[in-house]
A and B are shown apart, each in its own frame.
Chain A
Amino acid sequence: QVQLVESGGGVVQPGRSLRLSCAASGFTFSSYGMHWVRQAPGKGLEWVAVIWYDGSNKYYADSVKGRFTISRDNSKNTLYLQMNSLRAEDTAVYYCARESVAGTKGDAFDIWGQGTMVTVSS
């Protein structure tokens, strides 16, 4: 079935790096824009980054611009989030999510992963 599975979360010290992965299955991954969304403990949802279906464009929230990099490997059906210079305020559950319509740029998110927890603490 259509599924997204995140991995790579954990506990990391401030200033260090971490890379998250999101493995997609059950659909043509290379046809869909993909997003990362995060949720700090007890807080609401915060959009983090998007990458177009072909990887040609990427956009970021101001809070992570210059520190995080979204990428994808369509041959491996996998989405990534490279997180550098991590801060305590980056502590959150990180979800990957799929845009609901293939090939579009800007749509609702119809498929979500279960999330992976990132804790930034010394």
Chain B
Amino acid sequence: EIVMTQSPATLSVSPGERATLSCRASQSVSSNLAWYQQKPGQAPRLLIYGASTRATGIPARFSGSGSGTEFTLTISSLQSEDFAVYYCQQYNNWPPYSFGQGTKLEIK
């Protein structure tokens, strides 16, 4: 089973600044990695798939990079609506379709 580890658990950033979130896989998942955003009381929303491809309707300030075991989600200039919890997920070796434990992005 592939274990996904996200860091940090909580990230405090000011609006307008850049946020960098990390995700590490316990073994290679190639580029079969997705990022999701979840706000309180809402379902997760797909942001990035294939490690670096933005999903439909996702603003260009969101970008993903990495392959193999190390991945990064970058939000270039934080807007108020971006403060949420972010999850990475691998869909290369399944089952299970493992999620990371999440990174909470909070306002500094």
Contacts and interface: CB of A to CB of B under 8 A. Distances in A.
Contact of B91 (A62, A107, A115): A107
A107 to B, nearest CB: 6
B34 A114 contact: no
Q: State which size class the interface on A falls in.
A: 20 to 34
Contacts of B97: 35, 47, 50, 106
Nearest to A95: B43
B46 interface: yes
B49 A47 contact: no
A108 B43 contact: no
Interface SS of chain B: helix, strand, loop or mixed? loop
A106 B44 contact: no
Interface string B71-95: 0000000000000000101011011
Contacts of B107: none
Interface string B44-66: 11100110000110000000000
A47 B45 contact: no
B46 A47 contact: no
A45 interface: yes
Interface of A: 35, 37, 44-47, 50, 59-62, 95, 100, 106-110, 112-115
9 contacts: A35-B97, A45-B87, A46-B99, A50-B95, A61-B96, A62-B96, A106-B92, A107-B91, A113-B43
Closest 4 CB pairs of A and B: A108-B34, A108-B49, A112-B43, A59-B95
Given A108-B91, A114-B42, 12 more contacts: A35-B97, A44-B87, A45-B102, A47-B89, A50-B97, A60-B95, A61-B95, A62-B96, A106-B92, A107-B91, A108-B49, A112-B43
